[in-house]
A = this chain, B = another copy of it.
């Protein structure tokens, strides 16, 4: 039983008493006081991951429009974005509204627009936010054009391009591209440019596959933009990106910006694709051992899918990590252990090699590396951000809902 847990209300007093006597790290005290499960961010690693991506993309003289959908935290935003004018991608209007309220000015809402959401978009634009939207159909283009006319406003639009037959977008060679662009152009709606996302890159596992996905992503928008320009329709910007392709581009001539989101944290899926090492994953879920099943050599932990998410993104990769790999409380991977099962508030840790689970006692804290950082972070209200180098602990709140 930890003394700090017994009297949380007087923790400041305890910290003072202890620090006058022995060298106690503030973060150790803070971490001991936090009930599990919680999200742990290794801040120095988080900063290294951001630096790596910035150097990679800015080395190509291209703007990085980092996706906010993974972090979703205003306290963390200044580490992703140099200033309030920095380009940002969002996945919900709730993110856009929170960022705009905090003074960020340059936002792209990168999910195909539902016409019913245009009043919220207009409201942000009318308050001075440079917010652009995404669409890939004539009906959306007509709805936006009609809305802008009726409301005497302009909403800048990206036309989504399908680079890999993955999800959404217009094929770059399709006649629909010019038809959609013409509806917007004739409706006096600003066409910001063409945008694509190589979602298919998540299925890559070799550098050659990644380079191919990166090239297809890039070439799709360059070709789409050239078709618009040939038709006399302005298309000033070309936007591409996913974390796997963003770390794989050889050349970005013809591209104006890159979007990526999961790289500040990375995760086991990214490690499986080969764009990071497991040791570079900056996010984990801290959990406590609450049981041991001798017959099955199982550990039970207090992190189930409510804390880890139901994401099984590594299930189709060479190494299936279950619901996550297991680290000790200091973040060192314990080889051969993984979370094999998850109920709402229970996780089951098993071993691939007969590791003696009884050696990890009830009450022990462990850290679970996530399959998919976006999904795992999505289960939590906030991050506990730890910097062991400077002995600092911060809490960053997440933006929730839509």
Contacts and interface: CB of A to CB of B under 8 A. Distances in A.
A117 B311 CA distance: 27
B302 A363 contact: no
Contacts of A24: none
Contact of A362 (B118, B140, B341): B140
A292 B362 CA distance: 51
The complex is assembled from copies of this chain, and their number is 2
A329 interface: no
Contact of A361 (B120, B139, B288, B312): B139
The bracket for how many chain A residues form the interface is 35 or more
A49 B363 CA distance: 39
B363 A381 contact: no
Contact of A291 (B92, B137, B311): B137
A104 B75 CA distance: 36
Nearest to A90: B345
A1 interface: yes
A86 interface: no
A207 interface: no
Interface in A104-125: 111-120
A375 B310 contact: yes
Interface stretch (A2-10, A57-65, A211-219): A2-10
A238 to B, nearest CB: 21
A84 to B, nearest CB: 24
Interface in A257-315: 288-293, 300, 302, 305-307, 309-312
A157 B195 CA distance: 58
Interface in A338-397: 341, 343-346, 348, 361-363, 374-375, 378-381
Interface stretch (A35-43, A184-192, A243-251): A35-43
Given A146-B1, A378-B379, A35 B117 contact: yes
Given A6-B151, A69-B344, A112-B346, 13 more contacts: A2-B116, A8-B119, A35-B93, A35-B120, A36-B402, A38-B402, A113-B290, A114-B362, A115-B363, A136-B291, A140-B290, A167-B346, A306-B378
